[in-house]
Structure 1
Amino acid sequence: MSTPGFHNPEIFEVLPNARPSPTARDVFDVLTARQEPGGLVRIRQQELAQRLDITQAAVSRAIGQLRDKGILGDRQRRGTVLIHPLLAGYESLTHMLNHLQDPATFLWPLNFPTGDIRPPRSSDPRTGTDFDPDPDGGEDAPAPDARPSLRLAG
């Protein structure tokens, strides 16, 4: 199993709009670190409570708050939590786009102001324009004529 390393950066910029309590944010941080690609986390509330050195009731309240905001899904088996697909981690951009476009992926609403958050684009919007990101055709940049002289400070 690979570790999810790709996240939609735009959604994390608006996550503070959810105004999670400090405990809810701590719980979310642990869940994010322990997730499988796609957002499934296999962890029990008791384990979260021990990890964060808080009561299981506090963990339950924090998870309830995250569910109310739409950050966590409602439909989980015992001992699992599902992070919203837009907040989940993925193996790559392609994995994220494929997962979000899959008809079997349920995208429930986020209940906090997000603006117009979408997955990152899979193609460059400049495609089909006269923009050339590599105008020299991939040739190496010319080396400077003289190297600067270096000296030790002090």
Structure 2
Amino acid sequence: MKIGQVSKQTGIPVETIRYYEKVGLLPEPAREDSGYRRYGNEHVQRLAFIRRCRTLDMTQEEIRELLHLAQQPGRNCQDVDDLLARHLNHVRARLRELQDLEQELEQLRDACSNDGTMAQCGILGGLTEAVKPAEKNGHGNHIPGSHGH
């Protein structure tokens, strides 16, 4: 099947499919005489796997590691469990960061009197005085889906 059909079937944009090929997550498909790529069911299955991993906020490296491990059917699955445990720890750390962010936003919102002028706005004043999240938690700017090991 052609890339447009694969895109429709998997819900993954054509550009993303090409990107996954480029970074080695998806094997390059065979080419027809016309030069068009010819994808098979194994590509659709791989893309479904990648998509599910991405919905779990896994990085490309984690996905690559899982794909590598999956190619070793006789190997003990402890490595997969370890990878998932590391990822779960990352998710829990993110949740703590988001809870801290929620509290900080609530404190800023509580500083609003709603009847003052912009010059008296507690939120705007709080934003100029607030400690940057990077300074507060030591994690720097967190980019969703990134993992600091």
Q: Provide TM-score, normalisation by structure 2.
A: 0.25
Structure (1/2) with the larger helix percentage: 2
TM-score by structure 1 length? 0.25
User: More relative contact order in 1 or in 2 (CA 8 Å, sep 6+)?
Assistant: 1
